[in-house]
Chain A
């Protein structure tokens, strides 16, 4: 009896990953919602508000994807994932797409078998310390106790950085950002290190943010973006072009406020017309409706609007656009042409 039970359980586990491959778009349409993997909770990026509704930078991109497919930004369910569980969740088909501050690296692309759809935030790894420590540079951190989230690129960069600089440190591995914050605030570690955007977001939730500083060193490139499973190009294309559409929308000045009107009356710019489904058949090619991009933009606005509302300089997190400014305005945000 026991053996039988175990076999059935094991079979169930192993069978989960079948059917996880091709045809995600059809599966998603059939079930009526997108399952999106996000952080367990990171201010500005993915968090639940007082009513339990998910919101944030990454969350808005998920919603835009759902809106592009269903015309409804709420046709979506969220799965909170940790640094460790996110890849299994995606590989096993538990989530359809992952928007979780995830760095695009070779091994994740090739070895873990995922496809990155682009970059929605160009970041780098930074360090946060208490002002009172008097540390001015990451090079002064020899012997420090450092809190890190496991399962991240952070822990690998950290090992490299300290080794390259001939310094020692005491790593304290932690599962989630919330736990790391608690450890850091109780002074169980001197330093908290993760993506600089994550540090800014975490600091914004502190009681006294001014008592903590980010050190000037940025020790890595962390292009954060959405990813899907390898081998399902149709689904990958949908996610990729939703992201691109939001960036192009900013370029072309299409906003949450004017998108409906532009879609109705058309524009003198043919690319805008193509994007909004007035000309061409790009929606059909993607397997979506003609006005998919209209819905995606209406969900949370264009890239710039999403940025400003969730993490921009007017919010408590206060991140500058920096690299994430459009290429035409001094940043490196650049979407391929819509044609």
Chain B
């Protein structure tokens, strides 16, 4: 407003078009109106078409009985629960595989990225092959291949039966690999086990306090403590002591063959393993390139200077190269995490019951509420993606170059 009253000649309508000061506003407002009209037309069209098909737009179906079963449930769920609860079961499954996938993709990516720069010819080439193979074949194919390999090559549970079974568990019964999935022991939380957990959590806190103190001390006095070894000791020792002192309250439940399948332990289904592995290897290949680019972006002079100052190679990596490389690595890494999360919706191809399988699959199909289900799905993926990117942006802020 102030701008307008400042100009002496008064305001004419033509200025909205010819005056460069106003023209951009005119265009923007005009575009906004057009955009809103388009949205209104789309909504109207959607509602009319739904009405033509004799369908109403409502979310009431979410509170009706789902009537179908879901194999992997992180919370209690039976076929008598509602569609809303089935959707939540699916959401948790999506988050589980996305979380596991992001962690392993990062580990694989960092290792492969660093090794690709290795001076060892063979290792560097192997990593190139890995990166190129996984980057250039669609992830859906990798998912299908991994699950097919598990299904076709591993023994069925019945192979473990009998006096002289064709297959047997590994690690003294700790690990059972079947073509329906993998079983590992599950912890049984006895009395007092919470005390052990509490000690464990406390020692993690203590470890961070120690590391901060050690850094301060190093900055003040220049003395270097064996931080890694002491951290590891703080991490393990108190918990182990508490565990034995309290009479081993946490025990393990081993998977056992009962009836058609193994029972007990933690069951990781073929679909979870396949999806997780394929997503990690696929995204890991991209991450490896990002890591390599990040390391290469730090000019050689930096590490040469560090060597000249007498820093050993791993300290040079940790103190000089990585902190600078992270600035280059983190932003594209965010989009890899987002990609992985969204790619996890390919779960449906191998029958992993993620949110696309429950809400966007069976629920949508059985209720016919396509519009509503897709809108909810879009909202979920939007929120998940925005949350991931805000967390990562926060991290990026922290590693960013601080200009002093």
A289 at the interface (CB under 8 A from B): no
Q: Report yes or no: A14 in contact with B49, Cβ–Cβ below 8 A.
A: yes
Q: Given A160-B79, A183-B151, A186-B152, decide whether A84 and B365 contact each other with a Cβ distance below 8 A.
A: yes
Q: Report yes or no: A171 in contact with B71, Cβ–Cβ below 8 A.
A: yes
A15 at the interface (CB under 8 A from B): yes
- Bound Cα distance A111, B78 (Å): 24
Please indicate the chain A residues that have their CB under 8 angstroms from the CB of B98 in the complex: none
Q: Report yes or no: A174 in contact with B351, Cβ–Cβ below 8 A.
A: yes
Which of chain A's residues 47-101 have a Cβ closer than 8 Å to chain B? 83-84, 87-88, 91
Closest chain-B Cβ to A19's Cβ sits at a distance in Å of 9
Q: Interface stretch among B52-60, B102-110, B311-319? A: B52-60
> Per-residue CB proximity of B173-194 to A under 8 Å, as 1/0?
0000001100000000000000
Q: Report yes or no: A143 in contact with B263, Cβ–Cβ below 8 A.
A: yes
A320 at the interface (CB under 8 A from B): no
Q: Report yes or no: B260 in contact with A188, Cβ–Cβ below 8 A.
A: no
- Bound Cα distance A169, B69 (Å): 9
Output the nearest chain B residue to A152 by Cβ-Cβ distance. B365
Q: Given A18-B52, A186-B151, A230-B54, decide whether A155 and B45 contact each other with a Cβ distance below 8 A.
A: no
A106 at the interface (CB under 8 A from B): no
- Bound Cα distance A309, B18 (Å): 79
A314 at the interface (CB under 8 A from B): no
- Bound Cα distance A278, B49 (Å): 43
- Bound Cα distance A7, B351 (Å): 32
Q: Report yes or no: A84 in contact with B49, Cβ–Cβ below 8 A.
A: no
Please indicate the chain B residues that have their CB under 8 angstroms from the CB of A10 in the complex: 42
Q: Report yes or no: B45 in contact with A11, Cβ–Cβ below 8 A.
A: yes
Please indicate the chain B residues that have their CB under 8 angstroms from the CB of A172 in the complex: 71, 351
Q: Report yes or no: B69 in contact with A159, Cβ–Cβ below 8 A.
A: yes
A284 at the interface (CB under 8 A from B): no
- Bound Cα distance A17, B55 (Å): 12
Closest chain-B Cβ to A37's Cβ sits at a distance in Å of 15
**Which one of A17, A107, A151, A183 contacts B49 once the chains associate, using CB atoms below 8 Å?**
A17
**Which one of B38, B52, B270 contacts A7 once the chains associate, using CB atoms below 8 Å?**
B38
Please indicate the chain A residues that have their CB under 8 angstroms from the CB of B55 in the complex: 113
B70 at the interface (CB under 8 A from A): yes
Q: Interface stretch among B277-285, B337-345, B366-374? A: B366-374
Please indicate the chain A residues that have their CB under 8 angstroms from the CB of B69 in the complex: 155, 158-159, 162, 169, 171
User: Inter-chain contact count A-B, CB under 8 Å?
Assistant: 121
Interface SS majority for chain A: mixed
Which of chain A's residues 225-259 have a Cβ closer than 8 Å to chain B? 229-231
Please indicate the chain B residues that have their CB under 8 angstroms from the CB of A83 in the complex: 365
Please indicate the chain B residues that have their CB under 8 angstroms from the CB of A88 in the complex: 370
B346 at the interface (CB under 8 A from A): no
Q: Report yes or no: A142 in contact with B259, Cβ–Cβ below 8 A.
A: yes
**Which one of A17, A84, A145, A162 contacts B361 once the chains associate, using CB atoms below 8 Å?**
A84
**Which one of A11, A156, A169, A175 contacts B68 once the chains associate, using CB atoms below 8 Å?**
A156
> Per-residue CB proximity of A164-184 to B under 8 Å, as 1/0?
000001111111000000110
Q: Report yes or no: B49 in contact with A144, Cβ–Cβ below 8 A.
A: no
Q: Report yes or no: A143 in contact with B260, Cβ–Cβ below 8 A.
A: yes
Please indicate the chain A residues that have their CB under 8 angstroms from the CB of B48 in the complex: 18
Q: Report yes or no: B263 in contact with A113, Cβ–Cβ below 8 A.
A: no
Closest chain-A Cβ to B32's Cβ sits at a distance in Å of 11
A150 at the interface (CB under 8 A from B): yes
Closest chain-B Cβ to A40's Cβ sits at a distance in Å of 14
Please indicate the chain A residues that have their CB under 8 angstroms from the CB of B179 in the complex: 186-188
Interface residues on B, range: 35 or more
Q: Given A7-B42, A14-B45, A15-B45, decide whether A173 and B362 contact each other with a Cβ distance below 8 A.
A: yes
Q: Report yes or no: B46 in contact with A14, Cβ–Cβ below 8 A.
A: yes
Please indicate the chain A residues that have their CB under 8 angstroms from the CB of B38 in the complex: 7, 11
Closest chain-A Cβ to B347's Cβ sits at a distance in Å of 10
B261 at the interface (CB under 8 A from A): yes
B158 at the interface (CB under 8 A from A): yes
Q: Given A150-B362, A151-B365, decide whether A11 and B71 contact each other with a Cβ distance below 8 A.
A: no
Q: Report yes or no: A143 in contact with B258, Cβ–Cβ below 8 A.
A: yes
Please indicate the chain A residues that have their CB under 8 angstroms from the CB of B368 in the complex: 87, 91, 107, 111-113
**Which one of B68, B151, B270 contacts A155 once the chains associate, using CB atoms below 8 Å?**
B68
B25 at the interface (CB under 8 A from A): no
**Which one of B42, B68, B70, B260 contacts A145 once the chains associate, using CB atoms below 8 Å?**
B260
Closest chain-B Cβ to A39's Cβ sits at a distance in Å of 16
Please indicate the chain B residues that have their CB under 8 angstroms from the CB of A160 in the complex: 67, 79
Q: Report yes or no: A87 in contact with B365, Cβ–Cβ below 8 A.
A: yes
A291 at the interface (CB under 8 A from B): no
Please indicate the chain A residues that have their CB under 8 angstroms from the CB of B260 in the complex: 133, 141, 143-145, 190
Which of chain B's residues 367-393 have a Cβ closer than 8 Å to chain A? 367-368, 370
B156 at the interface (CB under 8 A from A): yes
B353 at the interface (CB under 8 A from A): yes
Which of chain B's residues 255-277 have a Cβ closer than 8 Å to chain A? 258-261, 263, 270
B357 at the interface (CB under 8 A from A): yes
- Bound Cα distance A21, B259 (Å): 53
Q: Which of B46, B156, B261, B368 neighbours the largest number of chain A CB atoms within 10 Å of its CB? A: B368
Q: Report yes or no: A188 in contact with B270, Cβ–Cβ below 8 A.
A: yes
Q: Given A112-B368, A113-B53, A163-B78, decide whether A150 and B361 contact each other with a Cβ distance below 8 A.
A: yes
B35 at the interface (CB under 8 A from A): yes
- Bound Cα distance A145, B259 (Å): 11
- Across the A-B interface, give the 7 residue pairs with the lowest CB-CB distance, nearest first: A187-B156, A159-B79, A151-B365, A112-B368, A143-B259, A144-B260, A173-B351
11 CB < 8 A contacts A-B: A11-B38, A18-B48, A111-B367, A113-B53, A150-B351, A156-B67, A162-B69, A170-B261, A171-B69, A171-B70, A173-B357
Q: Which residues of A contact B (CB under 8 A)?
A: 3, 7, 10-11, 14-15, 17-18, 20-21, 83-84, 87-88, 91, 107, 111-113, 133, 141-145, 150-151, 155-156, 158-160, 162-163, 169-175, 182-183, 186-190, 229-231
* Besides A18-B48, A83-B365, 12 other A-B contacts (C-beta < 8 A): A14-B45, A14-B49, A87-B365, A150-B357, A150-B365, A151-B366, A155-B69, A160-B79, A162-B69, A170-B261, A172-B351, A182-B151
